C-alpha cells in the first residue's frame, strides 16, 4: 500500500510517519514545505508546496498513493487571525485540491482537522453530528477544508484532534504540556486559562486512530482525541503533580483576564464514542500520556 503523508515535518505528521515505518505492508512517502527535518531510512521524502498545484500533482504522479494522510496546516490560530490569505490557501484551497487528486487516483483521503470548528457554547462533549460554528479564522478555514472534502471526495475520513501533545523533535513547535514543564523547571510562573475545557490528545493515539481509518470502509468525520476532558489550568496542574514540580507557579486566570487577541471556544471537548464503537479506538488517559511524554 502506497501511503503519502502530507506535512511530514510537522509534529503529528512525523509521528504518524515513524509509527508506520517498520510495517512491511506500507511503502511510505512524506512530503513537506521544507527539507526533511530528520532524514531516516524507510521512506521517500518530497519537498513540495501544497499551494502549488503543479507540485502537488507531480507528487501524486510519483507516489501513486493508495492513501493520503494530510497533517499539513497553518495550525497557529494567532497567525491565521492576521494572515487570512495564507490560511485560506493552506487550510482550505490546497485541501480541496488534494481531495480532487484523491478522486483522480482512486485513493483514500485521511485529513486532520480540529475541535476549533466549534464555538464552545456547550456543556457537553461535541459529537460528529454537532454543527460547527468557528469563532476564529483558523477554525473557519479548517471547517471550509472539511466542507470541501465532504463535497468533492469519494473516499475520506476527517479526523478532528484536540490539543495534541507528546515529545516534539528539535525544530518542531512545542505544546502546552511541554511549555508548562519547561517554565516550572526553570522556576518561572505561567498563566493558564481556567475556563476553557479540552480533551487533550496524545500524538501516538492519533497515529493509532489514523491507521485504523486507513483500512476502514466508511466516509465521515471521526473525533480522535483523549478520554479526559479538563480545563487548560487543570492540564497544567496534572503535569506539575506527575513531574513533582512546583504547582504554586501556575497562575489560573479567566479568558477575560487573559484577554487574548484571538477568540477561542470555551468548551471544545470532543466525544470519542463513535471512534470507540466503529474503530475500537481506545486512547490513553492524560496521566498515561504525560508519563509517555516525559518519562519514557
Q: Contact residues for ligand NAP (CB under 6 A)?
A: 7, 9-13, 32-34, 49-51, 71-73, 75, 90, 112, 114, 142, 161-164, 172-173
Q: What is the full DSSP assignment across 75-103?
A: --HHHHHH-HHHHHIIIIIHHHHHHHHHH
Q: What angle do CA 286, 290, 291 make, to 5 degrees?
A: 120
- Least Å from the CB of residue 47 to ligand NAP: 8
**Do strands 27-32 and 2-6 pair parallel, antiparallel, or not at all (unpaired)?**
parallel
Q: Which three cell numbers stand for residue 31?
A: 512530503
Residue 114 vs 194, nearer CB to ligand NAP? 114
What minimum distance in Å lies between the beta carbon of 133 and ligand NAP?
17
263: alpha, beta or left? (left if phi > 0; alpha if psi -120 to 50): beta
Q: Measured from the CB of residue 193, what is the shortest distance to ligand NAP in angstroms?
A: 15
In eight-state DSSP terms, residue 242 is H
Q: Which is nearer to ligand NAP, 7 or 279 (CB)?
A: 7
Using the minimum distance from each CB to ligand NAP, give the nearer residue, 73 or 243.
73
Residue number, 9 or 231, with CB nearest to ligand NAP: 9
* Least distance from ligand NAP to the Cβ atom of residue 177, Å: 10
Of 84 and 246, nearer to ligand NAP (C-beta) is: 84
Q: Which residue is nearest to ligand NAP (CB)?
A: 10
The CB-of-248 to ligand NAP minimum distance in angstroms stands at 27
Question: Could you give the CA distance from residue 111 to residue 68 in angstroms, rounded to a whole number?
Answer: 8
Site of grid cell 483523549:
226
Cell of 21: 515505518
DSSP for residue 10 = S
Least Å distance, CB 22 to ligand NAP, is 21
Residue 73 vs 245, nearer CB to ligand NAP: 73
Amino acid at each position: 500500500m502506497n501511503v503519502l503523508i502530507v506535512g511530514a515535518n510537522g509534529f503529528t505528521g512525523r509521528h504518524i510517519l515513524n509509527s508506520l515505518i517498520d510495517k512491511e505492508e506500507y511503502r511510505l512517502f512524506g512530503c513537506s514545505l521544507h527539507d526533511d527535518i530528520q532524514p531516516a531510512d524507510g521512506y521517500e521524502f518530497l519537498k513540495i508546496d501544497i499551494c502549488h498545484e503543479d507540485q502537488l500533482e507531480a507528487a501524486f504522479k510519483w507516489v501513486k498513493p493508495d492513501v493520503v494522510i494530510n497533517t499539513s496546516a497553518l495550525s497557529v490560530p494567532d497567525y491565521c487571525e492576521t494572515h487570512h490569505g495564507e490560511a485560506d490557501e493552506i487550510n482550505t484551497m490546497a485541501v480541496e485540491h488534494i481531495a480532487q487528486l484523491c478522486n483522480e487516483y482512486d485513493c483514500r483521503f485521511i485529513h486532520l482537522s480540529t475541535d476549533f470548528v466549534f464555538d464552545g457554547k456547550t456543556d457537553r462533549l461535541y459529537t460528529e453530528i454537532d454543527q460547527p460554528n468557528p469563532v476564529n479564522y483558523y477554525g473557519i478555514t479548517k471547517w471550509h477544508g472539511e466542507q470541501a472534502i465532504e463535497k468533492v471526495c469519494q473516499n475520506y475520513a476527517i479526523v478532528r484532534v484536540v490539543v495534541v501533545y507528546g515529545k516534539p523533535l528539535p525544530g518542531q513547535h512545542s505544546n502546552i504540556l511541554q511549555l508548562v514543564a519547561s517554565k516550572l523547571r526553570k522556576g518561572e510562573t505561567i498563566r493558564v486559562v481556567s475556563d476553557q475545557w479540552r480533551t487533550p490528545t496524545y500524538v501516538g493515539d492519533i497515529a493509532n486512530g489514523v491507521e485504523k481509518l486507513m483500512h476502514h470502509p466508511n466516509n465521515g468525520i471521526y473525533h480522535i482525541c483523549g478520554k479526559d476532558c479538563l480545563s487548560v489550568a487543570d492540564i497544567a496542574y496534572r503535569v506539575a503533580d506527575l513531574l513533582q514540580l512546583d504547582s504554586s507557579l501556575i497562575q489560573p486566570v479567566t479568558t477575560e483576564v487573559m484577554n487574548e487577541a484571538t477568540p477561542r471556544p470555551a468548551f471544545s471537548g470532543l466525544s470519542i464514542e463513535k471512534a470507540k464503537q466503529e474503530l475500537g479506538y481506545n486512547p490513553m488517559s492524560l496521566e498515561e500520556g504525560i508519563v509517555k511524554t516525559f518519562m519514557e
